[in-house]
A and B are shown apart, each in its own frame.
Chain A
Amino acid sequence: MGNKINTNELLIKNGRVIDPLNEIDSVCDVLIEAGKICEVGKPHKELPEEKVIDASGKIVCPGFIDMHVHFREPGDEEEETIRSGSHAAVAGGYTSVVCMPNTDPTIQDETSIEFVHRMGRQTRKTHVYAMGALTKDRKGVELSEMGLMAGAGAVGFTDDGTGLQDASVMRKALKYASMFGLVVSQHCQDNSLAGNGVINAGFNSTLLGLPGMSPLAEELMLWRDIQLNKSIKTKYHAQHISTKGSVDIIRRAKQEGIPVTCEVTPHHLLLNEQTVAEYDTNYKMNPPLRTEEDIAALKEAVKEGVIDALITDHAPHLQSEKELEFLYAPFGIIGLESALPLFEKALIEDGIIEWSELIAMLTCRPAEILGINDTKGSFTKGKWGDVTIFDPEEKWQIDVNKFISKARNCPFHGWNVKGRVSCTIVGGEVRYSSERN
């Protein structure tokens, strides 16, 4: 995305190179020339020291792609900006991120899509993409100008933050979007069932005296959308799924050949509803934290390949807002800078999957959903020289006060974790290095 042409060369040596798309998992070198992947293997070329990165003991993989972040620009720049968010992204190993359109004003026309791209380019950190709103003002009534936004480079459409309630409008949206081959991404939540819920519905909400959000609110809309898409067969993506029921619905749909993909966050894999007991608003998120049974089902789904992408749903908020009464505090937590070790804890440490599978859900699979796999998501020759290098064994403690993001709303503060990004390369340029920062 418009970085200046980089004629320099870069050689990453002796790392464990994992490129899931090309089924590479071996200790070798990666050579980047003119910002593009040139060779993976043992390049014969010798380069001067300053153009060589020694990745011994580290994993070298295509740059991470987070297809679900909120950078709050335009409108709420005090919470995060595209600039601050991009800095946080590369610190977490992300070389591409997709901004959700629920900003104020809404990202829903060519100009706003171009604005996001421009701010991203100017920051010169990560690639910044945007999804446009699915309906005007995300109200769920009239379709947005999808075609124009597609022309401006939008990578999908969503009313994220809310689900599209009206079934007939949703059917229209799916049909119309099918023209452009771009994904329709849904925050599955039937408001009539979710009500004013702020945590998972159930006994825990009885004890805490907080209104509950039924798992069915998620599952019902997911099931509805899949039925609607049965004949339309456009690219449909379920955002941040959180329940066992959702996993079952998606598994069945995939078996039936209905196009559906989905994503999961680290917090829904690691935290259950009990963590809300102290009314700490850093555990207030939407969808809410669910039960151990749901977590087990999500992990099983990861193992089976039912989950396509790992995302952060990076949702920055001011500390003063998160200090409000649980009922009134906003939903959401940040996640870009702590995602890798949290996914490691949830999925590798627990023996659910291997690194290559985890990396696939952070690289080639989201790239394919977003339709950016012609340039991103793998080490195929000629693709962008986007590389994430991390030490899978490095132990560290998450400290929100050291985050580059403007926000601090993260429930994982103080967690001891393993796996740390040491270097993030975008278009052949080192955009983050733990030694420099």
Chain B
Amino acid sequence: MAEGKIEWTRKHLLGLRELSREEIELILDTAKSFAEVNKRSIKKTPVLRGKVVVNMFFEDSTRTRNSFTLASRRLSADVIEFTKKSSALSKGETLLDTARNLEAMGVDLVVIRHNAGGTPKLLSRSIDACVVNAGDGFHEHPTQALLDVYTIREKFGSLDGLKIGIVGDIANSRVARSNVYAMTKLGAEVTLIGPPTLMPPIGDLPVKVSNSFDDVIESLDVVNMLRVQFERLSSNPFPSKREYTRLFGLTEQRMKRAKDNIAVMHPGPMNRGMEIESSVADGANSLILKQVTNGIAVRMAVLFLVSRAPE
């Protein structure tokens, strides 16, 4: 497929922290060729024909699950949808039991979304199938970040030297973590923006931190607005929604101070009117729907690459 400079060797995609710049670029380049497939009238390619993909979603998801399903089908794979509300414990069966059962049915690839960080890794150690992380707790969401950087690259040609702001609930966001790894490896300068109560210890991550959106908005080429994950907040880390919007919302007023060609992104689903004003989300600078479109090509690339990795 793509003219990658390097060979892909990973059987699993568990996160972006361990990936090199070259590996990330290989995925993006591969995705580019799959994007062409998606423009055809018959959007199918036979590269995964005869393979079985199972979508194991232990957490609610519409966008990511459908995106993976479509990606698998466009690669001609058979897809099993598996959904379960919470931990597999609820029926007394462990996650590993479930996975081993699916494997006994001849599954080749497992796409897993789980509310506990590290679960894809646990799975990858225990079964022979390829494992793709579709979001684990607040650890990583690699395909989301890949589609984000794909979309940015599409607009700007390269991430080198771009100033990117990631705004909001950094502490509870797997998207933010994967974004940081992907964006910085591709040469962008990343600033994490949010209240201290939503900022985790950042150790030696090559990022800046700001508690003032207004201080940095003017300098940004890209702003990635995160969803405030009310379902994960055990106690309120900020006093009210209106105060949050005033301080960290991407409002039209704040947009007036931004660069003209600033790219506005959001991994969805959005709390409209809270972290982002509707008119901005749907405005000229928004790449939000583009992200969704690109997600399919990126996920096709990931499924293709891991399935071809040497044993």
Q: A residues bordering B, Cβ < 8 Å? A: 195-196, 201-203, 205-210, 278-279, 320, 323-328
A328 to chain B minimum Cβ distance, whole angstroms, is 5
Chain A CB within 8 A of B275 CB:
no
B131 to chain A minimum Cβ distance, whole angstroms, is 13
Indicate which residue in B95, B117, B122 contacts A208 across the interface (CB closer than 8 Å). Answer: B117
Chain A CB within 8 A of B89 CB:
yes
Contact A209 B117, beta carbon cutoff 8 Å:
yes
Nearest chain A residue, comparing its CB with the CB of B141 = A209
A330 to chain B minimum Cβ distance, whole angstroms, is 12
Chain B 218-251 per-residue mask, 1 if CB under 8 angstroms from chain A, else 0: 0000000000000000100000000000000000
Contact A210 B234, beta carbon cutoff 8 Å:
no
Indicate which residue in B95, B115, B136, B200 contacts A206 across the interface (CB closer than 8 Å). Answer: B200
Q: In the complex, what distance in Å separates the CA atom of A278 from the CA atom of B118?
A: 8
Task: List, in ascending order, chain B residues with CB within 8 A of A324's CB.
Answer: 87, 89, 94-95
Contact A210 B89, beta carbon cutoff 8 Å:
no
Task: List, in ascending order, chain B residues with CB within 8 A of A205's CB.
Answer: 200-201
Chain B 135-153 per-residue mask, 1 if CB under 8 angstroms from chain A, else 0: 0111110000000000000
Interface positions, chain B 77-111, Cβ under 8 Å from A, are 87, 89, 94-96
Chain A CB within 8 A of B280 CB:
no
Contact B114 A325, beta carbon cutoff 8 Å:
yes
Nearest chain A residue, comparing its CB with the CB of B114 = A325
Nearest chain B residue, comparing its CB with the CB of A326 = B118
> Given A209-B138, A209-B140, does the pair A279, B200 have CB atoms closer than 8 Å?
no
Task: List, in ascending order, chain B residues with CB within 8 A of A327's CB.
Answer: 115-117, 137
Task: List, in ascending order, chain A residues with CB within 8 A of B139's CB.
Answer: 208-210
Chain A CB within 8 A of B157 CB:
no
Task: List, in ascending order, chain B residues with CB within 8 A of A325's CB.
Answer: 87, 95, 114, 116, 118-119, 122
Q: In the complex, what distance in Å separates the CA atom of A201 from the CA atom of B171?
A: 12
Query: Lowest 9 A-B CB distances belong to which pairs?
Result: A209-B139, A203-B203, A279-B118, A209-B117, A327-B116, A325-B116, A206-B200, A209-B138, A203-B201
B59 to chain A minimum Cβ distance, whole angstroms, is 12
Contact A209 B203, beta carbon cutoff 8 Å:
no
Chain A CB within 8 A of B266 CB:
no
Interface size class of B (residues with CB under 8 A): 20 to 34
Q: In the complex, what distance in Å separates the CA atom of A320 from the CA atom of B92?
A: 11
A290 to chain B minimum Cβ distance, whole angstroms, is 14
Task: List, in ascending order, chain B residues with CB within 8 A of A195's CB.
Answer: 234
Q: B residues bordering A, Cβ < 8 Å? A: 17, 87, 89, 94-96, 114-119, 121-122, 125, 136-140, 174, 177, 200-205, 234
Contact B202 A208, beta carbon cutoff 8 Å:
no
Contact B202 A323, beta carbon cutoff 8 Å:
no
Task: List, in ascending order, chain A residues with CB within 8 A of B204's CB.
Answer: 203
Q: In the complex, what distance in Å separates the CA atom of A328 from the CA atom of B138?
A: 15
Task: List, in ascending order, chain B residues with CB within 8 A of A206's CB.
Answer: 177, 200-203, 205
Contact A207 B203, beta carbon cutoff 8 Å:
yes
Task: List, in ascending order, chain B residues with CB within 8 A of A209's CB.
Answer: 117-118, 136-140, 174, 177
B229 to chain A minimum Cβ distance, whole angstroms, is 13
Contact B201 A202, beta carbon cutoff 8 Å:
yes
Which applies to chain A's interface (DSSP): helix, strand, loop or mixed?
Answer: loop
Q: In the complex, what distance in Å separates the CA atom of A202 from the CA atom of B89?
A: 29
Nearest chain A residue, comparing its CB with the CB of B115 = A327
Nearest chain A residue, comparing its CB with the CB of B178 = A209
Q: In the complex, what distance in Å separates the CA atom of A1 from the CA atom of B297?
A: 72
Contact A278 B121, beta carbon cutoff 8 Å:
yes
Indicate which residue in B17, B125, B137 contacts A210 across the interface (CB closer than 8 Å). Answer: B137
Nearest chain B residue, comparing its CB with the CB of A324 = B94
Contact A328 B116, beta carbon cutoff 8 Å:
yes
B165 to chain A minimum Cβ distance, whole angstroms, is 19
Indicate which residue in B122, B140, B205 contacts A326 across the interface (CB closer than 8 Å). Answer: B122
> Given A196-B234, A203-B203, does the pair A279, B137 have CB atoms closer than 8 Å?
no
Contact A208 B118, beta carbon cutoff 8 Å:
yes
Taking A209-B118, A328-B116 as known contacts, 16 extra A-B pairs with beta carbons closer than 8 A to each other, sorted by chain A number, are A195-B234, A201-B201, A203-B204, A207-B177, A207-B203, A208-B117, A209-B117, A209-B138, A209-B140, A324-B87, A324-B94, A325-B114, A325-B122, A326-B117, A326-B118, A328-B89
Contact A210 B117, beta carbon cutoff 8 Å:
yes
Q: In the complex, what distance in Å separates the CA atom of A327 from the CA atom of B139?
A: 12
Q: In the complex, what distance in Å separates the CA atom of A196 from the CA atom of B201?
A: 17
Q: In the complex, what distance in Å separates the CA atom of A202 from the CA atom of B201?
A: 6
Q: In the complex, what distance in Å separates the CA atom of A210 from the CA atom of B116?
A: 8
Task: List, in ascending order, chain A residues with CB within 8 A of B17's CB.
Answer: 207
Nearest chain A residue, comparing its CB with the CB of B96 = A323
Q: In the complex, what distance in Å separates the CA atom of A325 from the CA atom of B126?
A: 12
Task: List, in ascending order, chain A residues with CB within 8 A of B234's CB.
Answer: 195-196
29 pairs, CB–CB < 8 Å, chain A vs chain B: A195-B234, A196-B234, A203-B200, A203-B201, A203-B203, A203-B204, A205-B200, A207-B177, A208-B118, A208-B139, A209-B118, A209-B139, A209-B140, A210-B117, A210-B139, A278-B121, A279-B117, A279-B118, A279-B119, A279-B121, A320-B94, A324-B89, A324-B95, A325-B87, A325-B116, A325-B118, A326-B117, A328-B87, A328-B116
Nearest chain B residue, comparing its CB with the CB of A199 = B117
Q: In the complex, what distance in Å separates the CA atom of A210 from the CA atom of B122?
A: 14
Task: List, in ascending order, chain A residues with CB within 8 A of B200's CB.
Answer: 203, 205-206
